[in-house]
Structure 1
Amino acid sequence: MPRRSPLTSLSAFVVSLGVLLAAPVTAAVAAPGTVDPSQADPLELSIERMSPTVMTGDRDVVISGTVTNASDETWREINIAPFRAAFPITDTSTLNAAADLPADQYVGDRLTDVEVIYKIDSLAPGATTSFTARIPRARLGRTNGVYWVGVHASGVTDTQPRDDFTDGRARTFLPVAAGDAAPLRTAVVLPLKAAVRHTADGRVDNGEGWATLLGPGGRLDALLETAEETDVPITWVVDPAVPHAVSRLAAGNPGWTLTALPREEPTETPRGDEEAEPDPSLPVLPSDSPTPEEEVDPEVAALAEVAQSWLDRFTAVMADADVLALPYGDVDVAALSDADPESLAAAHVRSTEVLEALGVDSTPVVASPDGRLTRAAVESSPDAALVLLNERGLTGDEGPVPTTGTVLGHDFAATSAGIARGGPGPEDATSAVGVRQRVVSEAVLRQLAGDRTPLVVKPPTGWDAADGADELFAALETRRFRVRPLGALVAQADGPALGARSLVHTAADREAQLPREHVDAARKLVARATTLESVLTNPAGFDLQVRDVAWSDLAHVTRRRPDPALERIEDGLDHVDELLGSVTVSGPDSARISGDGTIGTTVTNGLDVPVNVNVAVDSSSDLRVSVPNPVAIPPESRRRLLLPTKAGREGVQSLTLRVTDAEGQSLGSRATVQVRASETSGLLWIIMGAGGLVLLGAIVVRLSRRGLATRGQLADAEPEQPDEPDEPDEPEQAEQPEQSEQLEARPEAAAKAEEQ
């Protein structure tokens, strides 16, 4: 293991001073409290308690914590010795630089007095034990300022003899100041956010994780418990998507639904014979829950109970609190202000709707986890929105960066950059004692400098109220702080009016934004959902349900893992397209018409709700098709249509039928029919008409002649008055029957002619 060479106190202080002077140049790129793993100490120390929080009298400093053997050897004869710096830090810029010093950097002399050393006989690999070390008041400087204090560990193993090197360390800051300082105007800002993920059908994902967050000791539970147990005013920065998701879990975690919206009763009495048609509205909070007949999953029921309990506490805590509402889903405001400002504005509106439904009054806020915003993000925020920045997100012309004022016409507040970075390493930057000591150190240095700029405290990302709230709020309840809601603090402060040049947003910040590809994918998902909503006979608010989910996948937190967020958006799009594909159109592969004709087609609705769709005709040919749009189809039914079709020319022509909404947006289904048309010319019709006339004339002439012939035959058939004939010869008598048959046939022919 690499080990640091020992330094004398004087030479080590000179080295540390040089690092502090150079640190502001590189502080922006140094991670708070990080240690190179290759240089990690074999003995890991953690400071869990330290008193006093601020040295104002003659008390000794008592440091308690734990030591863990992180090596694979047993350590023996371990000495836990306290250390302290000889000289104080007297300004915030030096404090910020000091916090970024490497973990093995010299910052103070170790005390070697036997009475202050805590001894541990033996510590096996992986084992942990506690310690308590003490710094006598006489060994700590009396000059006002902030001092390094902490503990060093050293011991022996079978392979490592006793030496002057440090085998483990933990450190923090301790302010020394007078006890009668004027209270510093302060606001405490706590974010109430969580990653909200959904399944492809719109259900809240990761129920097990939500049960942990909301249950006893969970992070979201601890935040409410903090508010319930402290009298310190807290300003909450809330992503309304979180309580909204919890409300869905409390309702059994329903997915997206196409069920018709309830209709609101009219608020005004109709005049005359007018009937007030109630408007359908999407309930902000879900009311769907399993019916008694439905089988309920025990895990779902248990989670619903936990969620409802948390939601009840949330509404009680927030009812009288100072609440700042992030745009719904905590969307990446920098990305959306560039790519889709309309959606950003709608996300602000949605946040207000959700919180109002929960009985919570709020003020819109525009913020980002790193405290840096673009000009577009600020300018696109609502007029009443508060702009919440980090001090590193602003640049002052001269002097300290202001913490309150106006920027681009909006009220702003800037949280402390140092506190947001947390305590110094090698411990976790979010440790309870580390964050508390960073807060009081910042306050003391401002008081010593006569800086009455309000202090806006926002714990570092990852800070857990379950572990750190007691320490932090115990300090904030002292007379050194006068804590007010942030809204009141901003209203009372007389800050400067800043322009766009005061906003800090670098190329690296722009690179960290959510890619535009994600925003475009979310817009496509919402657009497809809007198409489906538009064909439903009874509005269901399906597009709004999908929009809430899409925004959650554009959250700031997805910057860390953008690819899974994009996959979730695409999965949702596939699900919506599957629903749209349930409405189909079909027809024959081919059809034959002669001039005019009909083509049969069938429109099928596979959804369990009625729809009204259009059948659009795409043809580059001369086919003209009449469609009885719109086509109403009951749930899970089909409708047969005979489409009148006229061809302007002969030949085979392609005809495509598509199912669309009223605006022509395709639902996805289509059918192609090959139409064979035969065209009859106008000349042929004339010839055929003339032929018909000739035929009719011939029939008339023939009938006329037949009538004349018939009358002539009748006239010839009348008998004459003959003379007495002579007695005929025998041959003549043989011819008489033939004459009689002719006479009988003539009247019969005449009768037929008359009938004709």
Structure 2
Amino acid sequence: MRTFERAAAVAAAMACVMASATPVLADPRDHRAERASRQAARQLQSRDQVSLVLTGVTPKSAGPTGPKSKVQISGTVQNRSGAAINGLSVQFRYYGKHVTSRGQLAQLAASQPSAVLPGAPPGGASKKALPEAAVANGKQAFTVGFTTGGMGLRQFGVYPVGVEVSDATGRVLGGQTTFITYVPAGRATFSPLKVAWIWPIASGIHRANDDTFTDDQLANEVGPDGRLTRLVSAAARTGTPVTWAIDPAVLDDAQAMNAKGGYSLVRGKKTTRRPQNAAGVTWTKALKDAARSDPLFNLPYADPDAVALVRHKLGTHLTTAYKNANEVTAAVLQRTPNVQMAWPPSGAAGRGTINQLIKSGGLSSGSGTFVMSSREFAAQSPTQSATTAVPTDKGAMRAVAYDETLSDIVSADSSSPGAATLVEQRFLAETAMITAEAPDVPRTVVIAPNRRWDPGPGVAERLLKYSAEAQWLDERTSVAKIAQAQPVNRPYQNYSNAYEKYELGKDYLAAVQSIARRAMTFRAILNPPVNVYERSILRMESSYWRSRYSRSVQARKELSDELKTDMDGLHVVMPNNKRISLAGTSGRPVVTIANDLRGRTVSFRIEIISQSAGLRIGKLEPRDQRVIKLDPGKKHQARIPVQASGNGNFKMVVQLMTPTGERGKVYGEPTGITVRSTQYGRLALLITGGGLAVLFVGVGVRAMRARRRRKAEAAGDGSTGVGPAGTTGPQGAGFPGDGSGYPAESAFPSGPEFPGGTGLHGGSAFGPSGPPSGNAGPSGHSGNAGPSGNAGGTGPSGSTGTPDDRPRITGGSPGDGPSPFGRWDGNQS
């Protein structure tokens, strides 16, 4: 029986709209089959020679006398064959017996009149020729009908009626079946069915991060003729009681459109700036006024896929979603929900999800009511009242089971030509059929259109009016009142694992969680910390993505890109060619970190990591070891003491870290820098010093020879070159040793910074100077030049310890955990 009811419901929903666009169904179990069925119906109709559209059925419910005694069906017929059709006509058909069950009602709705409606009223009043439509591409309106007495209607109930189009040969070219409810005169023979509406205010996902919209659909939905505007207006105009189920993400998005300076809209690779749009604020005010005196409950923010989150151990995200939902509702509507209800996506959830909804704040302290689909309970005939219970770890809890068939009927697309008439007539027939199943038994029914219901113009308002005006319905109740009634025993069937394929999958959620972890890292550096991406992550976990895989991937990528752009606002300013050159084997190169985030102060730490065995990192300055606070637009420069074991290129990494002291909490991607080391500085000094010494010695030798030659010449001995006696020679020009030595080039101070010594701090490059050079002989005498002064002896180099080539990381707080690049655990202050 249950299988039959489901199949019949799907067929009935398909019959409601023959040429409609694909709907977004509340129940993921049916959306693919329903989509295929509707597509097949459209393809079939496109091949029809004649299209038939019903534009009205009057009256909506019939009576035995007066205007209500005549049933008329209006519509239009169009010849699409491209040729004239001889004898084209339309005929009214009926079946004089009332429908006996909801299952039969569904079968009739999906059938052609000629197959299920054998009766045609006598005479020619029920048939009308269509000469205007008979010509090629012709179109003509019609009205056909008959009296209730002529059709033999006597008993309260639902009766199928319809019209069909045929040619001169009697060949049926098309038809539609609908229903009329007959209500006898006099005292009612039934107990009116109490009906309550859940009025959903939800939408799709329209933003990546909080500042960037991925489409402009919400601007249309809250515009003057938009979907959400029609829903709010319908409830406000009719006064029919409804219980509002609001996704606060819609309110949040509506406020974001009105941001000062406008908002960003990204489409593909193009981002444009949209002007400030106040339509969302106008709509929000209308919602606030319409819902002022009605019951209201929150969906968790962005309507996350609760079942998928619980299945994949992410149930605590529901707590975050409810927290954000309550914050937004309080801020935008200046009110808090006045009823406690939890409505899982599609009204289906297992025990684990139900328990998590209680823990997460959907139903605090174990009180409140679950809103569940009737398909989660065993089918019973006649239809049972909505109040029931579901099992939880805290025991049975109250639930209302909304009627899935009715909800599907009103959720069907009613915007295409003729669809509204079929939806409205089927709604009246279905509620009358429930009443007629057990006319003497008072019962309740709850109707919950799907989350993103998009009724045609005027349809929502008319459905609410029918709820108040139909003789077999009593709308003077609410879902909250129904929930307080005595529960009916409706066996709960639990959540089927077959539904899992419609949920957000493991890989999808893993990709979202990867973004979430990066977002938490970004939050950690903000001063003060702000959950700027918390709602963005919730939007990515929305049940909206269940049947929209390609769009979800695109939205996820956009969010990831936006987050990367924001995180890159705190970055290391790279030197040219990503390279730092040392004048020797050691130095203190400067690394610059910039905060380019607009309006956000950040706090972070620095870690420097050697990736080459021959490069050692020294101790950072105290100010660089602590948490660094950097205002927007500012830069911080850190001097990094490095020492290379010889000439060549060495690798090091600058890694920014969060300031919280969490072990291994890196921020962003590491920045790799090449350190180029050379000993040319010291070698150049040695070569230059040696060259000067040789030059000075040469000049001294030449000077002494010249002096001797002058002395010899003065004495008259041409062979000796000695000048004449008595000539005063120049003062001796011996050169003393340097004496000062050349200091080591190392930028490292001596001390424990590099255990074991480095050979750079033990002494100067040259030792103390030797004795001074000899003086020239006394004036007037040919004395020998004194001995040349000794060059300054090379002093002993500093003792060289065994170099520790392991990478060294400094600048972190004590107790930091392992870095992804490894850590040296040697001496470190």
Q: Is 1:166 aligned to 2:177, yes or no?
A: no
Q: Residues 703-742 of structure 1: CA distance to partner in whole angstroms, max 9, x if unpaired? A: xxxxxxxxxxxxxxxxxxxxxxxxxxxxxxxxxxx9xx9x
CA distance in 2, matches of 1:109, 1:425: 29
CA distance in 2, matches of 1:634, 1:373: 48
Give the aligned partner of residue 288 of structure 1. none
Give the aligned partner of residue 719 of structure 2. none
* Selected match of 1:235 from 216, 240, 243: 243
CA distance in 2, matches of 1:551, 1:63: 51
Secondary structure of the residue aligned to 1:109 is: coil
1:341-356 equivalent positions in 2, closer than 5 A: 341-356=315-330
Give the aligned partner of residue 440 of structure 1. 428
Structure 1 pair 686/573, CA: closer, same or farther in 2 (3 Å)? closer
Q: Is 1:32 aligned to 2:19, yes or no?
A: no
Structure 1 pair 140/237, CA: closer, same or farther in 2 (3 Å)? farther
TM-score (norm 1): 0.72
Structure 1 pair 114/595, CA: closer, same or farther in 2 (3 Å)? same
Q: Is 1:383 aligned to 2:363, yes or no?
A: yes
CA distance in 2, matches of 1:688, 1:548: 61
Give the aligned partner of residue 182 of structure 2. 176
Q: Is 1:154 aligned to 2:166, yes or no?
A: yes
* Selected match of 2:292 from 319, 322, 347: 319
Give the aligned partner of residue 669 of structure 2. 668
Deviation, 1:646, is 7.1
Deviation, 1:107, is 3.9
* Selected match of 1:224 from 227, 232, 252: 232
1:88-237 equivalent positions in 2, closer than 5 A: 88-101=98-111, 105-111=115-121, 113-123=123-133, 128-138=139-149, 139-155=151-167, 162-178=168-184, 180=188, 181-198=190-207, 202-207=211-216, 209-237=217-245
CA distance in 2, matches of 1:474, 1:38: 35
Secondary structure of the residue aligned to 1:464 is: coil
Give the aligned partner of residue 485 of structure 1. 478
Q: Is 1:575 aligned to 2:575, yes or no?
A: no
Give the aligned partner of residue 636 of structure 2. 639
Q: Which residue identity lines up with residue 426 of structure 2 in the other structure?
A: R
Contact 1:419 1:435 in 2 (8 A): no
Deviation, 1:29, is 6.3
Q: Which residue identity lines up with residue 315 of structure 2 in the other structure?
A: P
Contact 1:32 1:424 in 2 (8 A): no
Q: Residues 206-242 of structure 1: CA distance to partner in whole angstroms, max 9, x if unpaired? A: 33x4343223332211111111211210122222111
Deviation, 1:244, is 1.7
Structure 1 pair 608/26, CA: closer, same or farther in 2 (3 Å)? closer
CA distance in 2, matches of 1:424, 1:349: 29
Judge which range, 54-63 or 606-615, deviates more.
54-63
Secondary structure of the residue aligned to 1:329 is: coil
Contact 2:209 2:559 in 1 (8 A): yes
CA distance in 1, matches of 2:505, 2:514: 15
Structure 1 pair 462/77, CA: closer, same or farther in 2 (3 Å)? farther
Runs of 5+ unmatched residues, structure 1? 1-19, 156-161, 257-295, 703-737, 742-756
1:353-752 equivalent positions in 2, closer than 5 A: 353-357=327-331, 358-362=333-337, 363=339, 365-367=341-343, 370-381=346-357, 382-384=362-364, 386-395=369-378, 403-409=386-392, 410-422=397-409, 431-448=419-436, 449=438, 450-459=440-449, 462-464=453-455, 466-478=457-469, 479-483=471-475, 484-496=477-489, 502-507=493-498, 509-539=499-529, 541=530, 543-544=531-532, 546-585=533-572, 586=574, 589=579, 598-609=588-599, 610-619=601-610, 623-627=616-620, 628=624, 629-645=626-642, 654-662=651-659, 663=662, 664-674=665-675
Structure 1 pair 688/390, CA: closer, same or farther in 2 (3 Å)? closer
Instruction: State the identity %.
Output: 17
Structure 1 pair 685/96, CA: closer, same or farther in 2 (3 Å)? closer
CA distance in 1, matches of 2:755, 2:305: 67
Judge which range, 361-370 or 181-190, deviates more.
361-370
Q: Which residue identity lines up with residue 309 of structure 1 in the other structure?
A: T
Give the aligned partner of residue 64 of structure 2. 57
Contact 1:103 1:425 in 2 (8 A): no
CA distance in 2, matches of 1:430, 1:454: 30
Give the aligned partner of residue 290 of structure 1. none
Deviation, 1:126, is 5.7
Structure 1 pair 241/429, CA: closer, same or farther in 2 (3 Å)? farther
Give the aligned partner of residue 710 of structure 1. none
Give the aligned partner of residue 272 of structure 1. none
CA distance in 2, matches of 1:214, 1:81: 42
Structure 1 pair 345/113, CA: closer, same or farther in 2 (3 Å)? farther
Secondary structure of the residue aligned to 2:131 is: strand
Judge which range, 23-32 or 175-184, deviates more.
23-32
TM-score (norm 2): 0.66
CA distance in 2, matches of 1:342, 1:232: 37
Runs of 5+ unmatched residues, structure 2? 16-37, 265-271, 680-745, 747-753, 773-777, 782-829
Q: Which residue identity lines up with residue 352 of structure 2 in the other structure?
A: A
Q: Which residue identity lines up with residue 580 of structure 1 in the other structure?
A: M
Q: Residues 352-399 of structure 1: CA distance to partner in whole angstroms, max 9, x if unpaired? A: 211111223324544356433333332221334642222123225997
Give the aligned partner of residue 85 of structure 1. 95
Deviation, 1:317, is 1.1
Judge which range, 26-35 or 344-353, deviates more.
26-35
CA distance in 2, matches of 1:630, 1:570: 32
Structure 1 pair 217/579, CA: closer, same or farther in 2 (3 Å)? closer
Q: Is 1:337 aligned to 2:310, yes or no?
A: yes
Secondary structure of the residue aligned to 1:328 is: coil
Structure 1 pair 590/596, CA: closer, same or farther in 2 (3 Å)? closer
Deviation, 1:114, is 0.8
Q: Which residue identity lines up with residue 602 of structure 1 in the other structure?
A: T
Structure 1 pair 119/556, CA: closer, same or farther in 2 (3 Å)? farther
Report the structure, 1 or 2, having the larger helix content: 1
Report how many aligned residue pairs link the two structures: 626
